[in-house]
Amino acid sequence: MKTILEWYEQAEGRQHIIKYMNEEDVHFEYYDGLYVCEQCDYLLNRTFLHIISKDYSYINSYDCPRCHVQMPQKPLLDEIEENSLKCPDCEEEKLEIRSYMDWD
């Protein structure tokens, strides 16, 4: 879990990671995700973090940089279909979607 602290940026999430990283029976779920604002369709690529234990749960959250509404709790993953996202700037062109994997 210490490796996530090397690159995770959000201060509140870092505090939760530090608090729970040495606890037993705690599960960390984290990955890069694409958040889509439900108000203005702004696309935000940020890390999703979910910390889970038998009596505690934390999920990070983001506000839309454009309209300042809270982004959905979870980013899109497999629900993204080819040609399903519009360009957030012109709102007409479709975006090309590419998945990637990070190998060590």
Q: What is the pLDDT along the chain (104 residues), one digit of tens a residue?
A: 568 888 888 899 999 998 888 888 999 999 888 898 999 888 898 999 999 988 889 999 999 999 999 999 988 765 565 546 777 777 777 777 666 666 55
**Is residue 33 one of the residues assigned to a domain?**
yes
**Which two structure tokens, joined as six digits, stand for 16?**
């939760």
**Is residue 102 one of the residues assigned to a domain?**
no
**Is residue 80 one of the residues assigned to a domain?**
yes
**Is residue 48 one of the residues assigned to a domain?**
yes
CB of 76 closer than 8 Å to CB of 85: no
**Is residue 103 one of the residues assigned to a domain?**
no
Number of structural domains the chain divides into: 1
**Is residue 86 one of the residues assigned to a domain?**
yes
The reported pTM is 0.75
Range of 3's domain? Answer: 1-97
**Is residue 65 one of the residues assigned to a domain?**
yes
**Is residue 82 one of the residues assigned to a domain?**
yes
